[in-house]
A and B are shown apart, each in its own frame.
Chain A
Amino acid sequence: MRQVLYALIPALAAHVWFFGPGILFNLAVATLFCLGGEAAMTRIRRRPIQSALSDYSAVVTAAIIAFALPSLTPWWVTATASLFGIVVAKHLYGGLGFNIFNPAMAGYVVVLVAFPMDLNLWTAPRMGDIDYQYPTIIETIRYTLTGMLPPELGFDAVSRATPLDQMKTGLSNMQTFDEIHNNPMMGSFGGRGWEWVSNFVALGGVWLMLKRIIRWQIPLGVLAGLLVPSAFMYWADPGVHASPGFYLFSGATMLCAFFVATDPVSAATSPRGRFIYGFGIGFLIYAVRVWGSYADGVAFSVLLMNMAVPAIDYLTKPRIVGHKMFENWHHKSRT
């Protein structure tokens, strides 16, 4: 799991470059609470603490939470997400290996619903907005600790709608995709800055794939699941639908494809099942982004597909050598 963390380092650097040092503080808070929660729960459950902490799974959860949250997030929001993820979603289901839901996404969804305002405080990317006033390091730390901005920096001054938000609002206001895409906040594919973080996330993900730490089925499944419907809709009517490239390189698509959906514990287990699982997530992301009320839908999609895992596993058992196709699908129930 340590390699998973290494793979996120380029994306972390990009994130700091474009969105300021906020993510570092989020990461620190999340790591503290994830490890704390892990230690407390293993202690209560009388399991060996040393091995639980040294497997780095809690740190990976913390890193994903840190990436999912806006760079300016008060510490209690991060802490709530971390503790819910580790304590409820992970340990109350039996700890590492037994959790049905992805802990990071479960924690993220809780704060998304509980603190909707705080989760909207995305800063503008560097060079995305010339009028934008960037909070300093001190201001970032103060905000993380207190949730207060200095009086001269209003909430509106530092927060900017994310590209996905802009796209969603723009399209619903009858703007065309090209109009929205000409906004300086937008980059070549996704949003300015966001797409670079995505690129570096993908780079780390590809490295993990080459190192065989993750396999291709889930990432490609997610990307295909998002690409197929978005390409079809864009092909059918390019005016009112965003391009597939935009969807692939904005929001948390890449993070989801390479780092979230690939959590083996909560994913489907056979190679075919994994592709279906990934495809389902990608498709649901598209559905939430286009027809849902949230701008991004990664967390919901992942949790929904987590629930579908037992069914996918059941239906995608590989054919055992010496068996006929589908022979081992049915079994007599216990009498």
Chain B
Amino acid sequence: MSAPTFDLGTVHGGLRLPILKDESTAQVIQHVPVPAQLVLPLAQHAGQPAHPVVSIGERVLKGQLIADADGIISAPVHASSSGKVIAIEQWPVSRRFGENAPCIVIECDGQDRVVHLAEDIVSFEQQSPDVLFQKILYGGIVGLGGAVFPTAHKLMEATTESLEHLIINGVECEPFISCDDMLMREHATGVVVGAQILLHALRLDHCYIAVESDKPEAIHALSDALTELQDDRIAIKQIPTIYPSGAEDQVVQLVTRKEVPTGGLPLDVGCLVQNVGTAAAVYDWICKGQPLISRVTTVTGDGVAAPMNVLARIGTTVADVVNFVGGYTERANQLIIGGPMTGRSVTTDRVPLVKATNCILVLSEPPSIGVERPCIRCGDCAQVCPVSLLPQQLFWYACADNEAKLRSYGLTDCIECGCCDLVCPSHIPLTADFRIAKLRMRELADEKARAERAKQRFESRTVRLEREQLQRAQELLRQKEVVKNAGPKAIEEILERSKTRKDED
């Protein structure tokens, strides 16, 4: 069956941002060689960090499992080249400002020897969905769109009656980032076969690949691949180039005209969204036996000598990647992991490239932000908000710490895209304020829950104490009663009994 066609939906607001991708798409994806050292964080995915299954000094091969999934939602980590584990220690990672996190450090031997797969590769069509889910879990595959949610769990959650559409998300709307674009141009077959595997595993009959209309090369490559594979279950959907069309809920809205309900998942409207990179990773693992140990990353900005897209091993440090593209320019001033809108600033280039790293952005100077002025309620922010919030009102209630109002004005629906910050004539960092307000809200809820638990404990203790006191009083009363009824002779008997017992002791 071919994918049903219908008109595109629309998303409120959004911004036409400068694209800034021409420099990094000028040449084909370059392969970063094996670095001297690989740093592999145990937490590269949403959920529980993986736990190491190698010890210091152990030799590992490329593709070998070095940390296994731990807990209900987790993903394993594989060695991305061969070498020796020299440390399992705290290392700066690309969280905000490069905080430390436990990492496995491998000293590479440069030979890049591949681990021997235990089983042969069989055609995915001959494998049952459950087997595929298990395999995808073992392959350490996580959502490469940014959320890094373990793909296997997402797929398993989605195998319900209500699932209708699979959407492969190639909408890369943030300025500078072009890794998905380049991946689609050069590995369109991988993306399409990955989509086929997912369709098979989910027992679905159609899928959409959403791509922005300003990526003609990617669209061309994908349609070539589709013609070659003769698969009419997969349709390409061209999306207008407006930020943030690539966000999960917005893609669903654009492709299917359905709104993801508040607090819900795309699954609530019968959709499952997977990034193109994830689809390609699934292909690499299921069809070629290579777990998720490398990814395409955009290295760009006016702070690097030669902006380009690179295929680098997970665990390569940012410093090594930047060296590969010719190093920093003199103007390099700030390092951002991710895009300019949603990325995180880090203070050191010792941080490793992880599964989530879609962009290494080096900029000359921090974008000049004007002085923050009071909000004049101009409403420009509300015009661009993709979820139709009123950021000016949210800001007002965030300042006033009015939790009830924040809830009713939909603070939790904010997707933190940053559009409101960009248009604010008073230069108010709205998104940051909303992040803080969300945190506070969560803290307040936690505090409330803790207080409630403490109250319950206290109340049950009071009840228990009262009950015990009552029981003691009753027992005393009963004993008195016994003594009174027994008379003097019985008392003598009792005393005698206790005396003989003492003697026996």
Q: Is B407's CB under 8 angstroms from A322's CB?
A: no
Q: A329 — which chain B residues lie within 8 A by C-beta?
A: 408
- With both beta carbons as reference points, the residue of chain B lying nearest to A51 in the complex is identified as B371
- The 9 sampled A-B contact pairs (Cβ below 8 Å) are A51-B373, A97-B374, A215-B379, A264-B376, A271-B383, A320-B413, A322-B263, A328-B408, A329-B408
Total of A-B residue pairs, C-beta within 8 Å: 84
Q: A35 — which chain B residues lie within 8 A by C-beta?
A: none
Q: Say whether B392 faces chain A, with CB atoms less than 8 Å apart.
A: yes
- With both beta carbons as reference points, the residue of chain B lying nearest to A55 in the complex is identified as B373
- With both beta carbons as reference points, the residue of chain A lying nearest to B387 in the complex is identified as A321
* Interface segment, one of A16-24, A77-85, A107-115, A311-319: A311-319
Q: Say whether B264 faces chain A, with CB atoms less than 8 Å apart.
A: yes
CA distance A331 to B412 in the complex (A): 14
Distance (Å) between the CB of A317 and the closest chain B CB?
Answer: 7
**Which residues in chain B, 394-450, are within 8 Å of chain A measured between CB atoms?**
402-405, 407-410, 413, 426
Interface size on A, residues (CB 8 A): 30
Q: Say whether A32 faces chain B, with CB atoms less than 8 Å apart.
A: no
Distance (Å) between the CB of B45 and the closest chain A CB?
Answer: 26
Q: Is the interface of A mostly helix, strand, loop or mixed?
A: loop
CA distance A317 to B390 in the complex (A): 8
CA distance A313 to B405 in the complex (A): 13
Given contacts A51-B371, A331-B408, contact A264 B388 (CB under 8 A): no
Identify which of B11, B262, B377 contacts A264 (C-beta below 8 A): B377
Identify which of A264, A271, A328, A333 contacts B409 (C-beta below 8 A): A328
Q: B388 — which chain A residues lie within 8 A by C-beta?
A: 318-321
- With both beta carbons as reference points, the residue of chain A lying nearest to B413 in the complex is identified as A320
Q: Say whether A46 faces chain B, with CB atoms less than 8 Å apart.
A: no
CA distance A7 to B383 in the complex (A): 23
Q: B393 — which chain A residues lie within 8 A by C-beta?
A: 269, 313
Q: Is A270's CB under 8 angstroms from B390's CB?
A: yes
CA distance A321 to B410 in the complex (A): 10
Q: Say whether A96 faces chain B, with CB atoms less than 8 Å apart.
A: yes
Identify which of A96, A215, A318 contacts B376 (C-beta below 8 A): A96
Q: Say whether A334 faces chain B, with CB atoms less than 8 Å apart.
A: yes
Q: A215 — which chain B residues lie within 8 A by C-beta?
A: 379
Q: Say whether A211 faces chain B, with CB atoms less than 8 Å apart.
A: no
Mask of A65-103 contacts with B, CB within 8 angstroms, 1/0: 000000000000000000000000000000111100000
Distance (Å) between the CB of B394 and the closest chain A CB?
Answer: 11
Identify which of B253, B371, B413 contacts A323 (C-beta below 8 A): B413
Given contacts A270-B390, A331-B407, contact A321 B374 (CB under 8 A): no
Q: Is B405's CB under 8 angstroms from A331's CB?
A: yes
Distance (Å) between the CB of A261 and the closest chain B CB?
Answer: 14
Q: Say whether B248 faces chain A, with CB atoms less than 8 Å apart.
A: no
Distance (Å) between the CB of A214 and the closest chain B CB?
Answer: 9
Q: A334 — which chain B residues lie within 8 A by C-beta?
A: 402-404
Given contacts A270-B390, A321-B12, A323-B413, contact A333 B404 (CB under 8 A): yes
Given contacts A318-B390, A321-B12, contact A95 B374 (CB under 8 A): yes
Q: Is B382's CB under 8 angstroms from A265's CB?
A: no
Q: Is B378's CB under 8 angstroms from A322's CB?
A: no
Q: Say whether B115 faces chain A, with CB atoms less than 8 Å apart.
A: no
Distance (Å) between the CB of B264 and the closest chain A CB?
Answer: 7
- With both beta carbons as reference points, the residue of chain A lying nearest to B13 in the complex is identified as A321
Q: Is A322's CB under 8 angstroms from B377's CB?
A: no
Q: B383 — which chain A residues lie within 8 A by C-beta?
A: 271
Identify which of A97, A270, A332 contacts B404 (C-beta below 8 A): A332
Q: A269 — which chain B residues lie within 8 A by C-beta?
A: 377, 379, 382, 390, 392-393
CA distance A270 to B12 in the complex (A): 14
Q: B407 — which chain A residues lie within 8 A by C-beta?
A: 331
Which 6 pairs between the two chains have the least Cβ-Cβ distance? Answer: A331-B408, A97-B374, A321-B387, A322-B262, A320-B410, A264-B378
Distance (Å) between the CB of A266 and the closest chain B CB?
Answer: 9
- With both beta carbons as reference points, the residue of chain B lying nearest to A95 in the complex is identified as B374
CA distance A88 to B353 in the complex (A): 57
CA distance A332 to B252 in the complex (A): 31
Q: Is A320's CB under 8 angstroms from B387's CB?
A: yes
Distance (Å) between the CB of A215 and the closest chain B CB?
Answer: 7
Q: Is B386's CB under 8 angstroms from A321's CB?
A: yes
Q: Is A322's CB under 8 angstroms from B264's CB?
A: yes
Mask of A265-286 contacts with B, CB within 8 angstroms, 1/0: 1010111001000000000000
Distance (Å) between the CB of B1 and the closest chain A CB?
Answer: 29
Taking A322-B262, A322-B413, A331-B407 as known contacts, 20 extra A-B pairs with beta carbons closer than 8 A to each other, sorted by chain A number, are A57-B376, A215-B379, A264-B377, A264-B378, A264-B379, A265-B377, A269-B382, A270-B382, A318-B382, A320-B262, A320-B410, A321-B11, A321-B249, A321-B253, A322-B264, A323-B410, A323-B413, A328-B408, A329-B408, A334-B403
- With both beta carbons as reference points, the residue of chain A lying nearest to B405 in the complex is identified as A331
Q: Say whether B259 faces chain A, with CB atoms less than 8 Å apart.
A: yes
Q: Say whether B57 faces chain A, with CB atoms less than 8 Å apart.
A: no
Q: Say whether B389 faces chain A, with CB atoms less than 8 Å apart.
A: yes
Distance (Å) between the CB of B210 and the closest chain A CB?
Answer: 18
Distance (Å) between the CB of B396 and the closest chain A CB?
Answer: 9
Q: B392 — which chain A residues lie within 8 A by C-beta?
A: 269
CA distance A40 to B403 in the complex (A): 35
Mask of A229-272 contacts with B, CB within 8 angstroms, 1/0: 00000000000000000000000000000000000110101110
Q: Say whether B261 faces chain A, with CB atoms less than 8 Å apart.
A: yes
**Which residues in chain A, 208-222, are within 8 Å of chain B measured between CB atoms?**
215
Q: A97 — which chain B residues lie within 8 A by C-beta?
A: 374-377, 426
CA distance A125 to B379 in the complex (A): 39
